Homo-oligomer: A and B are copies of this chain.
């Protein structure tokens, strides 16, 4: 008779997850599937109940890192049915002329997904798992890191109660209460940086019979130099628009005070969109103006008791569409580390997790800020679009040796920091090359081909 060694048995340590948003609900599924009993606390009410109000942006762009994390718990196919593939950008100029730019190669796309639907679906799956216990309306007032106690306020009873934890995962978002407790420990590095831009969500209405009134399989951009509007398709034929706009200045939220101001401004700068936005002025004044923050902190763990994931440790601006994808990748990476080290070596796992993920989260934060300038400004520049075409030509001429930065971030699992470093090297090469290129055909000139050959050889 041979005993099964204890270390190979599935661990069943009870775990606590604070926050049942996208990352928290996915993480609880991962942990539950590994055999752990998981207690999840969420400040807000259950979003699956009638009358729930979303507090955050409606649409998200799911890309490869997010899909892989969803596949890891077997829910990707389910989600894919309600995602709309977007194969490229469509730029709208001030005259309503359109320019197309593919995101990647044929067959590659990012997916417009409704945040509420995705969150509710993940919660359904977590709720159905016998290891997961979900508790909503539980506001975290305070965490005693030494005693390992949570102090919670129950919204229904307005009673405070104290709950112990042995292992706590903080997935409670950019304004994380769990991180708040870590911030009070000695030598805690922390920063929150706001852009001087806010955002406003608006709607392009569906056409008759739920038809899409602009190209469905694209992310639409109205780049205007110092600001921009984007639109992502919804299943019902509408598009969810987001205006990213300065708080102050001549063209700013502060400058648009009346419905007439808003109509005049939109009519002038987004003339092709306005006829599709019947609720524009009403939405503009009824919807809140959201702020745009980058949060960096370190460490992400407290002893082997507490670990932060997702926006709680690395909230970023939305311009690369990677906030959720990065948070989901946190779940995949943690799962891999658990596979590698076993479900008991938390000190090693938490340490490796933050050591591996912190530089990638920092790179992604930089990339997101970098892409803001690209989306509001550079995509309107014909030279920039020509450069993207040339890059695509190089990528297909040197398969496997040149992957554009956007593709590395969006369609690969290359660590963000490596992608960012490679992207900067490629940018330097493109700057040298573009000096010799006026049209796409110039790429085939022998002199240019020689230069490309030479640059590729030096890499």
Contacts and interface: CB of A to CB of B under 8 A. Distances in A.
A293 to B, nearest CB: 8
A188 to B, nearest CB: 7
Interface stretch (A45-53, A190-198, A232-240, A350-358): A190-198
A190 B187 contact: no
A191 B191 contact: yes
A273 B63 CA distance: 61
Contact of A291 (B187, B192, B291): B187
Interface string A166-199: 0000000000000000000011111111100000
Interface in A193-235: 193-194
B189 A192 contact: yes
Contacts of A190: 190-192
Contacts of A189: 192-194
Contact of A194 (B187, B194, B293): B187
Contacts of A192: 188-191
Interface in A254-299: 291, 293
A194 B193 CA distance: 17
A20 B190 CA distance: 27
A291 B191 contact: no
Contacts of A193: 189, 191
Contact of A188 (B186, B188, B194): B194
A190 B186 CA distance: 17
Interface string A346-389: 00000000000000000000000000000000000000000000
Nearest to A292: B187
A173 to B, nearest CB: 16
A150 B69 CA distance: 48
A191 B194 CA distance: 11
Contacts of A191: 190-193
A134 B60 CA distance: 55
Interface string A140-179: 0000000000000000000000000000000000000000
Contacts of A194: 187-189
Nearest to A296: B191
A294 to B, nearest CB: 10
A187 B190 CA distance: 15
Interface string A239-259: 000000001000000000000
Interface string A387-407: 000000000000000000000
16 contacts: A186-B291, A187-B194, A187-B247, A187-B291, A187-B293, A188-B192, A188-B194, A189-B192, A189-B193, A189-B194, A190-B190, A190-B191, A190-B192, A191-B191, A191-B192, A191-B193
Interface of A: 186-194, 247, 291, 293
Report, nearest first, the 7 A-B pairs whose CB atoms are least far apart: A191-B191, A187-B194, A187-B291, A190-B192, A189-B193, A189-B194, A186-B291
